[in-house]
Structure 1
Amino acid sequence: MIFRQLFDAASSTYTYLLGDSGAALLIDPVYEQAPRDLALLEELGLHLQATLDTHVHADHVTGAWRLQRRSGSSIALAAAAGAEGVDRPLAHGDRIDFGSRHLTVRATPGHTNGCLTYVLDDRRMAFTGDSLLIRGCGRTDFQQGSARQLFASVREQILTLPGDCLLYPAHDYRGITVTSVTEERRFNPRLGGDVNIDDFVGHMSHLHLPHPKHMAVAVPANLRCGQPEGDAPADDMPAWAPLTLRFSGVWEIEPMALLEREGAVQIVDVREAAEFIDPLGRLPHAKLVPLSQLMNRLDELDRDRPVVAVCRSGARSAQASVLLAKAGFGKVANLAGGMLRWKAEELPVAADST
C-alpha cells in the first residue's frame, strides 16, 4: 500500500493519500493544493477513486469538487453533514474499497455532527479528523458540537482500537505528524488517563476561543463540497502551452510541445558556455544564460512572454524555473528531460551544432 502525508501550511491541514493496485483515496484535501495532489497521483501512477472528508471544515475549503472536476473522483462525506454534491453519503459501518484494501467508517460526532473516523482494514492506521488531535481534540462550541457526544465518540470509537494503531489527525499546529492509541489513552490531557466526562465537559466549556477566521467562507463552501458559488471558474491550467505540474512544484513542457511553440516563447539555456556548443547541441533560437548568471541578467528577458528553461538533463533548468518564478515571471516552464530527451527524440538542433 502507498501512503503519503501531505501538509497545507496556510491552514495546518494534513491531507492523506492512500493507494493500492493503482487506485487511490485522498482524505481531507485542500482546495488550493489540488494541483499538488494531482501531480503526486500522476507521478505515482494512481487513479483518484474518491475524496473523503472527515467533516465539514471551518478553517479551509475542501478540494473535493476541484479534484472531481479534474479527475472524475467521487465525493464522500457524512450523510449527517447534509452537504450538496456528495456522491456517497457515509454512515457508521460503511466500507470504502480501494484496490485490495479498504477503510471502515466510524461515526465520531461531537466536534461537528458529521465527523467521521476512517479505520484501515488491518486496524493499524486511523484518520481521526478533528475528533481526536495529537494530545488534544476539536472544539465543541459550533457546528452542532457537543462535548458529551465527543467524549463518547473518542472513548468508544477511537481509543478502543488496538494500542499500536497509528492515529493521523486532520490538523496539527506544532508540526507533529502522528500519534498512537496507547499514547492518547495515557497522555491526552483532555481525554486520556483518569479524565471523566465531567472533567472533559468542564474543560471544553472554558476554552473561550475565537471562531476560525475563515469560517464564514469555509463552512458554506464545504456544504457545497468546495464548489465555488456562481459559474465554475476557468480551468487553472496555464493556457500558453500544455504543461504538466510535477510534485516538486515545477511546471514542465514536453519536447514536441515546445517544438510546436518555439517561435512564441523565450528559450533560455542555463548550461555553461562550453556545453552550449558541445556535441549534444542546442535548441534553435535558444539564448545562453548560465544558471550562475541568471539572476543578474533578468533584464535581458521579456516578462510578458513565456520562458522555457533548458539544460542537459532538466535538473539545472528546473532550478532556473523556480528562480524565474520567484523573480516574478508568470509564465515559466522547464523542458522535460532537457537536451538529452530532445536529442533522443531526434528533434532539430541549431545548424551550427555537431
Structure 2
Amino acid sequence: MIFRQLFDGRSSTYTYLLADEDSREAVIIDSVYEKVQRDAALVRELDLKVVALLETHVHADHVTGAWLLRRALGGQIVLSGRAGASGHDREVGQGDVVEFGRHRLEVRETPGHTDGCVSYVLDDGAKVFTGDALLIRGAGRTDFQQGDPGRLYTSVHQQLFSLPETCLIYPAHDYAGRTVSTVAEERTHNPRLGGQRSSGDFVGYMRNLGLAHPKQIDVALPANLRCGAPAEGEVPPSEPDWAPLQCTYAGIWELDGAWLEENLGAVTILDVREPAEFDGPLGHIRGAQLIPIGELLERIEEVGADKPVVVVCRSGGRSAQATVMLRKAGRERVANLSGGMIRWLDRGMAVEAAPS
C-alpha cells in the first residue's frame, strides 16, 4: 500500500494519503485548504485516482480542502451523518466501510470531541486514523462544539482501545512533532485516558484545561459545515490562466513543451544554462534569452516583464530553481519547462544551434 503522512505547520494538522498499489485507487483523510495544491500534485505524480475524501469531523482549527480537491481530482466527500454538514456525497456511521482497491477503512463512531467524530480503521486493525478523538498522549478538547468528556472517554475505550495492541494510531493533529503511536502505548502512557484513569478522572481533567478557543474557529466552522465550498458571493482560488500549468509536489509550476512550441511568441523564454551549453549539442529554443543561473540575481532586470516567462535548462533542475528566484523577485507569471531541453529534443521539437 502507498501511504503518506503530510503536515500543515500553521494548524499542526496531519493529512493522510492512502492508495492501493495495483488499482491506484486512493483516499485522502483530513485535507487542509492551504495545502490542496501540494496534495493534488502528489496524487498526480504518483498516478493515483482519488475515490474518497474523508473527514474525521467538522474541524474548528483549519478549513478543509475537500471541496477544492473534489473539483481538481474527483472522488466523493465522506463524513459522519451526525456532523450536520452539507455539500458532501456520502454519509457514514458505525460499521460502514470505505473501499479503495484491495483495502478497506471501517468507520467507528468516536463522538465526544464533536457529535460527528469518526475514526477510520484500516484493514482490520493495521492502522487507525483517530481525528481529534485520540491524540498521541492526549485527547481532543471537549469544551465547545458538542463536546462531552464522558462521552469521549467511552468512545476511546470502547472503539479505539479495543483494537489490537499493535494497531498504529495516526491522529489529525500533533503539536510536539510526534507522528505515530500504538494502541498499547496509549492504553499505558496516555496521561488523560491511559493506565487506571477513570471516566471521572478524565472528566475532571478536561473541564479544567482552560484553553483559548482556536484562532480560526470563526472562519473554519462555517466553511467546514459546507465541506470547504465557497460561501455565496465568494470566489474560489484560481489556477494561473496564462497557460495550462501544473504544480509539482516540490511546489514548482511547470509547463509542457507542446504548448510552448505553439506559443513561442506569447512568452519570454529564459535559458539559464552556460553559454557553451546554449550553443552546444542540445541547441536552444528559437528566440531564447540566455542568462546563466549564476548571474540571474544580478541580471534579473534584464528579463522582460511584459510577457510570462518560461525558464529552460538541460533537464529542468536549474530552471526550476530559477523560477523560485524569479518569484522571490516579484515575478508572478513564471513556469519551468518540464523536462528541459532533453525532453524537448526527445519529442522532436525544433532547436537552433550556434553558427558553424
Please indicate, yes or no, whether the TM-score normalized by the shorter chain is above 0.5.
Answer: yes
2:63 paired residue number? 61
Q: 1:223 to 1:329 in 2, by over 3 A?
A: same
Letter aligned with residue 265 of structure 2: G
* Aligned 8 A contact 1:267 1:310 in 2: yes
Answering whether residue 18 of structure 2 is matched by residue 18 of structure 1, we say: yes
> How far apart, in 2, do the equivalents of 1:99 and 1:299 lie?
52
**Structure 2 unaligned residues grouped into runs of 5+:** none
Q: Let me know the Cα RMSD of the aligned residues.
A: 1.3
1:44 paired residue number? 46
Select the residue among 296, 300, 303 that pairs with 1:301: 303
> How far apart, in 2, do the equivalents of 1:66 and 1:313 lie?
32
> How far apart, in 1, do the equivalents of 2:56 and 2:304 lie?
46
1:316 paired residue number? 318
1:9 paired residue number? 9
Letter aligned with residue 247 of structure 1: Y
**Structure 1 unaligned residues grouped into runs of 5+:** none
1:187 paired residue number? 189
* Aligned 8 A contact 2:26 2:50 in 1: yes
Letter aligned with residue 83 of structure 1: A
Select the residue among 174, 196, 199 that pairs with 2:198: 196
- 1:107-131, Cα deviation, whole Å (9 max, x unpaired): 0000001000000013110000000
SS in 2 for 1:297: helix
SS in 2 for 1:80: coil
Letter aligned with residue 9 of structure 1: G
* Aligned 8 A contact 1:303 1:330 in 2: no
> How far apart, in 1, do the equivalents of 2:65 and 2:214 lie?
19
1:221-232 correspondence to structure 2 within 5 Å: 221-231=223-233
> How far apart, in 2, do the equivalents of 1:321 and 1:48 lie?
30
> How far apart, in 2, do the equivalents of 1:86 and 1:338 lie?
41
Select the residue among 290, 293, 315 that pairs with 1:288: 290
Letter aligned with residue 144 of structure 1: Q
Answering whether residue 114 of structure 2 is matched by residue 112 of structure 1, we say: yes
* Aligned 8 A contact 2:131 2:171 in 1: yes
* Aligned 8 A contact 2:323 2:335 in 1: yes
TM-superposed deviation, 1:198:
1.1
Answering whether residue 264 of structure 2 is matched by residue 262 of structure 1, we say: yes
Q: 1:286 to 1:181 in 2, by over 3 A?
A: same
- 1:82-122, Cα deviation, whole Å (9 max, x unpaired): 11112111101100000111000000000001000000013
Q: 1:353 to 1:312 in 2, by over 3 A?
A: farther
Q: 1:234 to 1:222 in 2, by over 3 A?
A: closer
Answering whether residue 227 of structure 2 is matched by residue 218 of structure 1, we say: no
* 4+ residue segments displaced more than 3 Å: 351-354
Q: 1:159 to 1:341 in 2, by over 3 A?
A: same
* Aligned 8 A contact 1:278 1:353 in 2: no
> How far apart, in 2, do the equivalents of 1:206 and 1:235 lie?
40
* Aligned 8 A contact 2:281 2:353 in 1: no
* Aligned 8 A contact 2:280 2:353 in 1: no
2:169 paired residue number? 167
Q: 1:208 to 1:271 in 2, by over 3 A?
A: same
1:249 paired residue number? 251
* Aligned 8 A contact 2:108 2:120 in 1: yes
Answering whether residue 75 of structure 2 is matched by residue 73 of structure 1, we say: yes
Q: 1:304 to 1:180 in 2, by over 3 A?
A: farther
TM-superposed deviation, 1:232:
6.0
Letter aligned with residue 273 of structure 1: P
> How far apart, in 1, do the equivalents of 2:175 and 2:13 lie?
9
Letter aligned with residue 341 of structure 1: R
2:160 paired residue number? 158
Letter aligned with residue 248 of structure 1: A
TM-superposed deviation, 1:71:
2.2
* Aligned 8 A contact 1:281 1:353 in 2: no
2:333 paired residue number? 331
Q: 1:343 to 1:113 in 2, by over 3 A?
A: same
SS in 2 for 1:185: helix
Letter aligned with residue 76 of structure 1: V
TM-superposed deviation, 1:331:
1.1
> Which stretch has the larger CA shift, 313-322 or 100-109?
313-322
Letter aligned with residue 294 of structure 1: L
TM-superposed deviation, 1:353:
6.1
Letter aligned with residue 82 of structure 1: G
> How far apart, in 2, do the equivalents of 1:353 and 1:156 lie?
78
1:83 paired residue number? 85
TM-superposed deviation, 1:69:
1.5
